Amino acid sequence: MISWRIMARLPKCGRAIFSLGLFALVGGPVAAQLPARQFLDPVQELAAIKAASTLDDDPADAEAVQQVCTACHSSSQFLGTPRSSSRWEQVFGRMAQQGARPSDEQVDRIVRYFQRNLMVVNVNTSPDEELGPTLQTSPETTAAITLRRVQRKFTGIADLAAVPGVNRSVLEGLKDRIQF
Ligand code: HEC
């Protein structure tokens, strides 16, 4: 499910049709806000995006991110800076304004990549649809988490790991992105 409403609203345009050359020629405020344009090596970009993905095992997701999100700038713009769902939504909305036009399939893949690798969640406040994809829990386990936090707030990773169905190795990889 796509929780980034703005991305979901993007018009269906089939595959992204960015032309690096074209963007290099665009003058004005857009070009002025990015660092001086350098040649982006798609192979290197894909390698960096894959290397930053410890929790998404579908290589096609990384490929979609490379295709869409490195059309105008390097992946270093976004790798290594996890954000909350609403902050990513804002970024994606701005990228759409700048001209990002992913296909529906690319949107799904990009959303999954970001949810798994770059999303910050709060176990005690984030809604189900944000928690589930990031913690990689089933709907039942996600519901158990949200039920339990109403009774008693979670205090840390060990507390969360005790909920049946929670995958500890996923939690290990998420340590820096889980708030309580
Ligand atoms: C059509 C060109 C274009 C595409 C495609 C594009 N961006 Fe950008 N991006 C920009 C421009 C221009 C800026 C600098 C201006 C700005 O921040 O709005 C930028 C800046 C950013 C920033 C820094 C903003 C901040 O607040 O720190 C992030 C993060 C980012 N992009 C992420 C992405 C992601 C993720 C994708 C893929 C979904 C993407 N971009 C696709 C043009 C693009």
Ligand 1 and 91: CB distance under 6 A? yes
Global pTM value: 0.84
pLDDT at 39: 81
Q: Are residues 157 and 103 in the same domain?
A: no
Q: Are residues 102 and 171 in the same domain?
A: no
Ligand 1 and 100: CB distance under 6 A? yes
Q: What is the distance in A from the centroid of ligand 1 to the CA of 91?
A: 7
Higher-scoring residue by pLDDT: 103, 28: 103
Q: Are residues 75 and 164 in the same domain?
A: no
Instruction: Write a three-state SS string for the chain.
Output: CCCCHHHHCCCCCCCCCCCHHHHHHCCHHHHHHCCCCCCCCHHHHHHHHHHCCCCCCCHHHHHHHHHHHCCCCCHHHCCCCCEEHHHHHHHHHHHHHHCCCCCHHHHHHHHHHHHHHCEEEECCCCCHHHHHHHHCCCHHHHHHHHHHHHHCCCCCHHHHHCCCCCCHHHHHHHHHHEEC
Q: Are residues 18 and 36 in the same domain?
A: yes
Domain that holds residue 130: 121-179
Among 5-9, 82-86, 107-111, 166-170, where is mean pLDDT lowest? Answer: 5-9
Give the domain-ending residue among 75, 92, 117.
117
Residue with the nearest Cα to atom 22 of ligand 1? 77
Average pLDDT over residues 79-101: 95
Q: Are residues 97 and 131 in the same domain?
A: no
Total domains present in the chain:
2
Q: Are residues 16 and 75 in the same domain?
A: yes
**Ligand 1 atom nearest 31 alpha carbon:** 12
pLDDT grade, residue 65 (50/70/90)? very high
Distance CA 16, CA 18 (A): 6
Ligand 1 and 34: CB distance under 6 A? yes
